[in-house]
Amino acid sequence: MAAQATEDVARLSQSIKNQTKTVDQSTPAINENDDSEDANEEDAGNQNASKKKKKRKPKKKKGGSKTQTSPPRVPVSNLFPNGQYPEGELCDYANDNHFRTTSEEKRHLDRSNNDFLQEYRQGAEVHRQVRQWAQGHIKPGQTLTEIAEGIEDSVRALTGHPGLEEGDNIKGGMGFPTGLSINHCAAHYTPNAGNKVVLQQDDVMKVDFGAHINGRIVDSAFTMAFNPVYDNLLAAAKDATNTGIREAGIDVRVGDIGAAIQEAMESYEVELSGQTYPVKSIKNLNGHDIIQHSIHGGKSIPIVKSSDQTKMEEGEIFAIETFGSTGKGYVRDDLETSHYAKRADAPNVALRVSSARSLLSTITKNFGTLPFCRRYLDRLGHEKYLLGLNNLVQSGIVEAYPPLCDIKGSYTAQFEHVSPVMDQAA
């Protein structure tokens, strides 16, 4: 989920002592240990019984399917019954931070308490499986509503949290609404009820969605294009994101990361209809840190060169995301708002609109400070809530996140992964 440089969000309120540096880009293998039968029998009768038993059709093992379905519907907890989820891609530290990879004592301390990492790894595995399915399933001709609901239904199924019972979505499920931003729209667009937009062959669509377990949000995004003329645009954003991940680490200054990202991004150009366009980093969009139950924790990672001397700190979780554009490289609020979130520092004010009071209770009980969209309120059975929702926004209790767009006629691309900034071996 995108973050603007001017956003004033809640500061990181907790210090996480568990430590590893990982990126949600792994493809795990699922190991299953089959029970073996004892071939040594005491007498001939037992041998005959054993032979007869072997001829029987094997009983279905408890715990359900051990392979994922299409669309994904098997909870990942069934696929990993031991509760140990894949670590993801590990990146070695370099230069002055190399000791963080090689120090055995440091690694031992990192392993001593990493429960929260298991929650992140479970969420990452949910995201990976849904992402893999979506990349093979999304095709031109589908409506944006169909695409968004397909992703969201899958995330809810794999986390084991349908989100219809009060408080269930706070335990796990969607970390934020599925962003399906097309062409010049870079971020924060998801279809509202009644949306009839259909994905076209020449569209460039950013797919940005989050999965969470106990508020540990895995925020990852990719871009889809079906016309190869956009390949360089996608390659630029992917290269820039991977560069940001490699540069990230404990005590690294975010301004230095931004400079490296911009250099990678702007080394590409795209030829469209006989005209060459340089790919520009969108300068007022950033990566961001993530804290429990809050998608924006307070720190930003610029994607252009910056004098920002803020350092990444041990134990922080960052979403490394980059945006490239063939336009001006600057976005503004545009189109109909769909994304909202209750502010962590929401003021305690009297609400004169009765529908606002009722809606605030629903938001607090079902989403807390997790982002939501109008479709999620529809899904919970809320009706005629727009007046109350606008009142909550005007009162400073709920933040609205309108779509962010470059100039019309331009094309934008995004790639993103979550990276805990910690010692490698946690």
What residue type is 64 in one-letter code?
G
Would strands 372-373 and 339-342 be described as parallel, antiparallel, or unpaired?
antiparallel
CA dihedral 315, 79, 173, 291 (to 10 degrees): 0
Q: Is 321 annotated as a binding residue?
A: yes
What is the number of other CB atoms lying within 10 angstroms of the CB of residue 161?
Answer: 22
Asked if residue 219 belongs to a known ligand binding site, the reply is yes
DSSP string, 246-309: HH--TT-BHHHHHHHHHHHHTT-EEEETTEEEE-EE-TTEEEEEEBTTBS--S-EEESS-----
Q: Is the dihedral of CA 149, 151, 152, 153 positive or negative?
A: positive
**Phi, psi angles (nearest 5°) of residue 208:** -125, 110
105 annotated as a binding-site residue: no
Catalytic residue ranges: 208, 219, 288, 296, 321, 416
What's the CA gap between 230 and 207, in Å, rounded?
Answer: 16
Binding site annotation covers 188? Answer: yes
Rounded to 5°, the CA angle 284-92-82 comes to 100
* HSE (side-chain half, CA atoms, 13 Å) at 359: 29
Site of tokens 């979506």: 134
- Is 314 annotated in a binding site? The answer is no
Q: Is 296 assigned a ligand-binding role in the annotation?
A: yes
Binding-site positions for a divalent metal cation? 208, 219, 288, 321, 416
**Which residues participate in the annotated binding site for substrate?**
188, 296
Binding residues: 188, 208, 219, 288, 296, 321, 416
